[in-house]
Amino acid sequence: MSKKIASARISEKSSQLLQDLNNSLPFDKVLYREDIEGSLAHAFMLSEQGIISKEDFAKIESGLKEILEEIESGIFKLDGEDEDIHMAIEGRLTEKVGDAGKRLHTARSRNDQVALDFRLYVQRNTQTIAKLLLENIATLVKVAEEHAETMLPGMTHLQHAQPINFGYHMMAYASMFKRDHERFMSSYERNNYSPIGCAALAGTPHPVNRQITSDRLGFNAPTLNCLDTVSDRDFALEILFNISTMMMHMSRLSEELILWSAAEFKWVTLSDRHATGSSIMPQKKNPDIPELLRGKTGRVNGNLVALLTVMKGLPLAYNKDMQEDKEGVFDSVRTAILSLQVLAEMIADMTINKEAMEAACMVGHLSATDLADYLVKEQGLPFRDAYHITGNVVNLAEKKGLDISELSLDELQSIDNRIGEGVVALLDNRASMNARLSEGGTATARTLEQIESLKDWLQKQ
């Protein structure tokens, strides 16, 4: 279609290899909507400012709207030899409306054009991801509410540590996703400034009004400095970082789901909709989905590091290196959206095997700390002495093949007669969990408080 519409200096046709290396159309065609919206706003501003005529604007406007339909209906395929989406659309517009189309690029460069298109894309997808995060938080909160009394061994070093409830565990992830949501929203606010009207790097002698384009495109205001604006890809780095952090949280949850699905745990059962079989072992049910979520986290981290590396040595302003900014972002955004959709569905559908979780609480003397705390609080022992006495009690339980919560008062007192009557009840795992009543703690009452607080927050979003 539009060959070399912007090559006044170049007379020979480009080598095929140059085109293969140089052309971004095969991937930046994703930006066609943003490109057309940006051009509509720019052309409107040009006509408002008397830089182009109202007649030319009318032609440009109807031409661009037709092109949008042509693209969406597949008539205009975006697989030609054009260098990028900007040239493809401008070329098609000129075919359709002639000279008016050639006036569209007045007071604009592809440098501010691509900065605009890409920023619009990032802003929109930031909102999509933030919304999906809210759905995931709501799902986790719902599971938490159903399981604020379901006990499982809380772990450190992947060793049984203290009894907690499953709702509390889910609320830990809900809290991470809440911070992720806040990170996306704060990036959105920080980057919601309009790049268009900056031209190549230095502004333009045409009497543009950047406020008009900014308003039409839904930005807070035009950016401050044009040299920065055409050079900056912080907004893209921010979405990449936000996705990486969010996926890192998702990956930790996935890792736990994988472990908990194993025969050694059997704490959760993923629904058949979210598990796959083996091609050779007929008995197998594999947790491929959480494994993929965990694996994709590596990929999005790669995209973040790739763009940081592309940007680190670039002199101001635009350099063609920056065309490398897009594929990683498109990939991370697609990955984040799909992963969040799958995660919400998988969490909502999984079965929580309460009996297996609670049985696991009888392994590992989870309430041992409660005995030490009792000796300190009720008998005035220094903590270190209490710690040693408790160690001896644990050794006795081990010798008898029992959990500390199963020892009788006589057995407890055989180690130290300062252990009083109430202790047997204290060492019960549920009592132990509910004793952790400090703010943010695991006691069911505190867990329910956390659930209420996140529900309130969700309602305000």
Of 217 and 322, which CB lies nearer to ligand ARG in the complex structure?
Answer: 322
Stretch that binds ligand ARG, among 40-48, 156-164, 317-325, 386-394 (CB under 6 A): 317-325
CA-to-CA dists, residue 368 to 39, 58, 165, 319, 379, angstroms: 68, 79, 17, 63, 16
Catalytic hit among 73, 157, 279, 438: 157
User: Quick check: 2 binds ligand ARG (CB under 6 A)?
Assistant: no
For ligand ARG, the binding residue among 132, 140, 322, 393 (CB under 6 A) is: 322
- Give the shortest CB-325-to-ligand ARG separation in angstroms: 7
Rounded CA separation 84/27 (Å): 9
User: Quick check: 231 binds ligand ARG (CB under 6 A)?
Assistant: no
- Give the shortest CB-66-to-ligand ARG separation in angstroms: 23
User: Quick check: 119 binds ligand ARG (CB under 6 A)?
Assistant: no
Residues in contact with ligand ARG, counted by CB under 6 A, come to a total of 10
CB burial of 18-35 (b: ≥16 within 10 Å; e: otherwise) equals eeeeebbbeebbbbbebb
Pairing of strands 351-352, 159-165: unpaired
The closest alpha carbon to 337, from 428, 424, 246, belongs to 246
Q: Which two tokens stand for residue 245?
A: 């952090």
User: Quick check: 28 binds ligand ARG (CB under 6 A)?
Assistant: yes
Query: Is 279 an active-site residue?
Result: no
User: Quick check: 318 binds ligand ARG (CB under 6 A)?
Assistant: yes
User: Quick check: 34 binds ligand ARG (CB under 6 A)?
Assistant: no
- Give the shortest CB-9-to-ligand ARG separation in angstroms: 13
Decide if 191 contacts 238 (C-beta within 8 A): yes
User: Quick check: 229 binds ligand ARG (CB under 6 A)?
Assistant: no
Of 311 and 435, which CB lies nearer to ligand ARG in the complex structure?
Answer: 311
- Give the shortest CB-303-to-ligand ARG separation in angstroms: 16
Stretch that binds ligand ARG, among 8-16, 99-107, 219-227, 315-323 (CB under 6 A): 315-323
Of 121 and 188, which CB lies nearer to ligand ARG in the complex structure?
Answer: 121
Rounded CA separation 163/141 (Å): 20
Of 322 and 404, which CB lies nearer to ligand ARG in the complex structure?
Answer: 322
User: Quick check: 110 binds ligand ARG (CB under 6 A)?
Assistant: yes
Which residues sit opposite 276 in a β-bridge?
286
Of 111 and 432, which CB lies nearer to ligand ARG in the complex structure?
Answer: 111
The closest alpha carbon to 432, from 386, 385, 371, belongs to 371
Query: Is 105 an active-site residue?
Result: no
Of 25 and 394, which CB lies nearer to ligand ARG in the complex structure?
Answer: 25
User: Quick check: 84 binds ligand ARG (CB under 6 A)?
Assistant: yes
Stretch that binds ligand ARG, among 171-179, 290-298, 319-327, 346-354 (CB under 6 A): 319-327
- Give the shortest CB-85-to-ligand ARG separation in angstroms: 8
Of 112 and 416, which CB lies nearer to ligand ARG in the complex structure?
Answer: 112
- Give the shortest CB-436-to-ligand ARG separation in angstroms: 54
For ligand ARG, the binding residue among 2, 47, 111, 261 (CB under 6 A) is: 111
364: region left, alpha or beta (phi > 0 left; psi from -120 to 50 alpha): left
Of 227 and 396, which CB lies nearer to ligand ARG in the complex structure?
Answer: 227
- Give the shortest CB-14-to-ligand ARG separation in angstroms: 13
Q: Which two tokens stand for residue 6?
A: 């912007």
User: Quick check: 114 binds ligand ARG (CB under 6 A)?
Assistant: yes
Which residues sit opposite 286 in a β-bridge?
276
Catalytic hit among 15, 271, 278, 408: 278
Rounded CA separation 84/68 (Å): 16
User: Quick check: 232 binds ligand ARG (CB under 6 A)?
Assistant: no
Of 113 and 213, which CB lies nearer to ligand ARG in the complex structure?
Answer: 113
For ligand ARG, the binding residue among 24, 47, 223, 390 (CB under 6 A) is: 24
User: Quick check: 323 binds ligand ARG (CB under 6 A)?
Assistant: yes
User: Quick check: 330 binds ligand ARG (CB under 6 A)?
Assistant: no
Binding interface with ligand ARG (CB under 6 A): 24, 28, 84, 110-111, 114, 318, 320, 322-323
Active site residues: 157, 278
